Amino acid sequence: MNTRDGRLITVILPTGAGHGLLEKLVTQKGLTTVFLHHARGTGLSGVLKRKGLAQQIEKDILVAAVPTDTLDDIIGFVYEEGGVGKPHGGFIYIETLNALRGGAPVSLPSSSPSEGYGGE
């Protein structure tokens, strides 16, 4: 995938929902750059009224690089298969991939480690 023609999607999901979605994106949609992370934190909605204690909430964070020409299909797939369309099912962020790291594409040297790097 050309990094200048892609989008980065970040999907916030209930705990436990990310692994299955990651597997489906790889096996059914052919994505190769998909990562799963976990997050935990508190927010205003997590404060218990009577005791004033904050409740920690965990979420799965799925991040994937998606070619622009398949973006609509992938977003629809995530929406349905990931349960994002259901109440408390999560939400999706979409951003241009070339906005990351100043827009410089990432590339590895063409030589193998045994040949040395840097064209030597």
pLDDT in tens, 49-69: 556 666 778 999 999 999 989
Amino acid at 30: G
pTM of the model: 0.70
CATH number listed for the domain at residues 3-46+55-98: 3.30.70.120
pLDDT digits (tens, 9 = 90+) for 12-26: 999 999 999 999 999
Q: Rounded to 5 degrees, what angle do the CA atoms 96, 101, 102 make? A: 80
* pLDDT at res. 6: 86
Give the Cα separation of 112 and 76 in Å (integer): 39
Where the chain has pLDDT below 70, the residues are 1-5, 43-54, 98-120
* pLDDT at res. 120: 45
* pLDDT at res. 43: 65
